[in-house]
């Protein structure tokens, strides 16, 4: 015989499953699953693999916008989604940045700073979620993600242009990649990324 307690427990499990299995969360999870395939394509360094890596990253970045829109329009915003969405962004961006390290485009220490910041931010979010007070990304964190993704797309596009053609377009791409501008821009992103962590501490103290 089923008791009221059993019925309530089953209902809670159904609610928990519903929070996980939303179209927005599924799209977010797909971004996480795409990351290792993207990294593999990137570090191969061939024209075809770089082109596929660019398309994969650009597609994943576009879904970052649409999953949030879907969640709001369908009314399925959940604590799970609030946690997973920025985590997926971090995994995708870091897979690109570490790929750039392998290709000797940016220094390891700079990417390590970004990775450490992301680990701290994720730890804070897990802790807050365990307290029933999920942290939403701050405005600075959202801008940080936007700039990081734009930077990755730009570098990937330059790599694709350099790898496919042997003309003035490839020459321009090569000059930009070797000029130091890409590395200096990475330093700016490192500073902005580290600064965006302040927003998490402010939200935690509220």
> Domains in the chain and their CATH numbers?
4-205 (1.20.120)
pLDDT (0 to 100) of residue 70: 63
Contact residues for 2 (Cβ-Cβ < 8 A; gap 6+): none
| Count of alpha carbons within 13 angstroms of residue 37, beta-carbon side | 11
- Of 138, 152, 140, 149, whose CA–CA distance to 182 is shortest? 152
Q: What is this structure's pTM? A: 0.81
* The residue count for the chain: 206
From the centroid of its chain, how far is CA 68? 14
For residues 149 and 61, the answer to whether their CB atoms sit within 8 Å is: yes
Token pair of 172 as six digits: 């321009």
Query: What does each of the 206 residues of the chain score in pLDDT, given as a tens digit?
Result: 555 444 444 444 444 444 556 777 788 888 899 999 999 999 999 999 999 999 999 998 888 776 666 656 666 566 666 778 888 899 999 999 999 999 999 999 999 999 999 999 888 878 877 776 766 666 777 788 889 999 999 999 999 999 987 888 889 999 999 989 999 999 999 999 988 887 666 655 44
pLDDT (0 to 100) of residue 199: 66
């Amino acid at each position: 015989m089923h008791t009221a307690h059993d019925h309530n427990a089953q209902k809670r499990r159904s609610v928990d499953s519903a929070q996980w299995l939303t179209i927005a969360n599924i799209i977010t999870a797909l971004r996480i699953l795409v990351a290792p395939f993207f990294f593999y394509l990137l570090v191969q360094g061939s024209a075809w693999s770089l082109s596929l890596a660019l398309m994969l990253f650009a597609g994943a970045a576009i879904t970052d916008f649409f999953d949030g829109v879907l969640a709001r329009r369908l009314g399925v915003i959940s604590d799970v989604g609030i946690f997973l969405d920025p985590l997926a962004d971090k995994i995708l961006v870091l897979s690109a940045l570490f790929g750039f390290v392998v290709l000797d485009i940016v220094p390891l220490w700079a990417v390590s700073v970004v990775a450490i910041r992301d680990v701290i931010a994720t730890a804070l979010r897990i802790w807050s979620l365990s307290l029933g007070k999920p942290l939403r990304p701050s405005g600075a964190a959202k801008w940080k993600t936007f700039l990081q993704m734009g930077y990755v797309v730009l570098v990937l596009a330059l790599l694709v242009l350099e790898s496919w053609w042997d003309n003035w377009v490839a020459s321009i791409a090569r000059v930009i990649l070797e000029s130091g501008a890409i590395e200096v821009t990475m330093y700016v992103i490192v500073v902005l990324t580290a600064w965006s962590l302040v927003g998490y501490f402010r939200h935690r103290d509220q």
